[in-house]
Amino acid sequence: MNSMIARGVAPLLAALLLTACATPDFKQPAVETPTAFRNSQLPGPAEFAGIEGARWKPAQPAEQQPRGQWWLAFQDPALTALVEEASANNANLAVAASRVKQARAIAGIAAADRVPQVGVGIGAQRARPSALESGLPQGTATQPVTTYTANLTASYEVDLFGRVAAGVSAARSDAATSEANYRSVLLALQADVAQTYFRLRALDAELETVAQTVRLREESVKVTQRRFDLGDIGEFDLSRARTELATARAEAIGLQRQRATAEHALAVLLGKPAANYVAGPSPLLDATLLPAIPAGLPSSLLERRPDIVAAQRTMEASNARIGVARAAMFPALTISAAGGGVGGAFSEVFKWSSRSWVLGLLTSMPLIDGGRNRANVERSEAVLEESVGSYRQSVLTAFAEVEDNLAGLRILSGQAEQIDAALLSARRSADLAQKLYDAGRSSYLELLDAQRNLAAVERTAVQLRGNRAVTTVALIRSLGGGWDAGRIDSNAVAMK
């Protein structure tokens, strides 16, 4: 009879084992990517022969590749100090770091199921059973009894269908996701510090330009007042001079408000109260120290983007959780054992005659669950589909951000060239207008128009300078935090 049962059960177990690949193989989703950035100003495809990195390859997580301290490329000790201070004190970064610790601990908890669970117990108990419990006639007096026990227990789940392994894999992928999210927060923090710093310096430069305009207007009012007092000009010119002075002063006050806001934002990034932080004036004078960004960037730079890495790890975790959900539909096998001693005195517990032991083997599986496990599998598969969509969106967004910033730098570079030419002409025009006005050959309105045009061009030049610095940082951020110059420079075309 037993042999017949064995012959009937064996094929069933074999079939279960053969179909028990609970965790599906992870398949990297296909994402359409361009062969090169449209705004990188690279030569045509025929000119790329033999150049490594000219063509894009499917993105793979490469979060461990060296990024380097990209802010050092700006050769600004003040910026370096601010980035280091923010990295040490920012509250959001500390929150992200604590989440990494939590995820790693959860992964450790999941991995603990892979090894046998062993425990030890020592105890004492004093009890007085009733006569009925002792099998004695009702009313018989019983005596209290003291017992001492010591035991060693062990249990182990045989991972027949990969439930434990899938759970460990999912937890480790979750930990990797948390680490990638931490790097994303760190990169965002570093970029925010750099961009806020350059905005602050650009505002300082703009304030300096407006202050120069205010001084010019003040001198103009004094000169106009003297000429009015002498009767050389009418009240109209004096009123216009005073109006221009008040307008320039109002613009300076507005810029001071913007500067205060930027200073407070920088204080928050540094982990300091806004009221306790003062950033000294440091005008952004020129763009000569802005690093030249390589245009022929290999795809490995995009692979290092922490948001893409996080999306990749999330997909892997979702795929592993499908295995956990599927394994719940198969039998679970648990082996348990316990051994120890029981005695009326503690010294008797460890005697050979007091020994006791038990060995157990338990197999269990669901029979009727109302479709719970099947629904859980479907939910896990839907979560994977969601994570695949998020991954594809992250990759497309990454390409778009790099395109945006490459285009921005190219356009800003062209604007800067035109503004430099316009600045030379505006200065020449203002100088000629002043001389003509002093000689009485032109009106005050013509002088004001030339001076107003010069001030506008100077402010535009300063704003472009700041925008180029901010956009350079944005491009570095969109590339995942810098590049390995030693590997890229020989194969890249510097952006003009």
pLDDT given for residue 403 in this prediction: 86
**390-416 pLDDT per residue, tens:** 998 988 888 888 888 888 888 888 888
pTM exceeds 0.95, yes or no: no
pLDDT in tens, 461-480: 888 989 999 999 998 888 88
pLDDT band at 430 (very low <50, low <70, confident <90, very high): confident
Segment holding 264, helix H or strand E: helix 235-269
304 within 8 A of 63, measured Cβ to Cβ: yes
pLDDT of 495 reads 29
Contact assessment for residue 184 and residue 306, using Cβ atoms and an 8 Å cutoff: yes
Distance CA(473)–CA(476), nearest Å, equals 5
The per-residue pLDDT for 23 is 76
pLDDT higher at 347 or 356:
356
Q: Rg (Cα) of the chain, in Å, rounded?
A: 38
Question: How much is the pLDDT for 485?
Answer: 41
pLDDT tens per residue, range 10-52: 444 444 444 455 678 888 887 776 666 666 654 333 332 333 3
Tell me the pLDDT band of 263, cut-offs 50, 70 and 90.
very high
For the stretch 80-123, pLDDT in tens is 999 999 999 999 999 999 999 999 999 999 999 888 999 998 98
pLDDT at residue 49, as a whole number? 32
Overall average pLDDT of the 371-381 stretch = 91
d(CA 108, CA 138): 56
User: What pLDDT shows up at residue 443?
Assistant: 77
Does pLDDT of 274 surpass 80?
Answer: yes
Answer yes or no: are the C-beta atoms of 87 and 270 closer than 8 Å.
no
Q: Report pLDDT for 21.
A: 56
Per-residue pLDDT, averaged over 282-311, amounts to 73
| Predicted local distance difference test score (pLDDT) of residue 37 | 67
- Whether 251 has a pLDDT exceeding 60, the answer reads yes
What's the mean per-residue pLDDT of the chain? Answer: 81
Determine the pLDDT at residue 1. Answer: 43
Phi/psi zone of residue 169: left (φ > 0), alpha (ψ -120 to 50 degrees), beta?
alpha
Residue 55 has pLDDT above 60, yes or no: no
Q: Does 379 score more than 50 pLDDT?
A: yes
Edge-to-edge strand order for the sheet containing 332-343? 117-127, 145-158, 332-343, 355-364
User: Which range among 158-167, 216-225, 335-344, 377-386 has the greatest average pLDDT?
Assistant: 377-386
Residues written for the chain:
496
